[in-house]
Amino acid sequence: MLLTTALAVIALVLDQVTKRIVENNMYEGQVIDVFPPLLRWYFIRNSGAAFSMGESVTWVFTIIQAAVLIYVAVFLVRKIGSLPWALALGGLMGGVAGNLTDRLFRAPSFGRGHVVDFIALPNFAIFNVADMFIVCSMIGICLLLFTGREVDGKRVEHAKKTKRTHGAETEAQGNE
């Protein structure tokens, strides 16, 4: 739990510090080539979700982010039984907390704030550090689930084999 919390705090701080640096050193709409043409800083304020979708319902994203953060912090963190889950959930909490902080405390108003985005890749979205933590964490969570690793550290694979074997035996007995 300590590792999860530490990673969440690191992600939140990195996200907020980088956004503050961008706000203090760039003007909105400014583009700075970093590694042309692969990477550039492009300062925008995003009122919507990914790819600026849902710009008129910013408050919905605030509620969803708060719900995700509360659910993970209250219900999942105490069940963590493996290092990969600790990292995945810590990164997810930190990323969600970073964007939620923007929604709560940035203009135009509480709960409807615009998220600062600034990392631009060619032919892709403009995003931020919080988004990177969220995406990497969700990829990790999907991999953990696909490989049968539960939050508590147990593997599901054995239970599935038992069910399949038992189901096959039951079906075979019914055919006799």
- The answer to whether residue 15 is catalytic is no
Catalytic residue among 15, 33, 102, 131: 131
Task: Indicate which residue of 15, 102, 117, 152 is catalytic.
Answer: 117
Would strands 115-120 and 39-46 be described as parallel, antiparallel, or unpaired?
A: antiparallel
CB 118 within 8 A of CB 128: yes
Q: Catalytic annotation on 152?
A: no
What amino acid positions are annotated as catalytic residues?
Answer: 117, 131
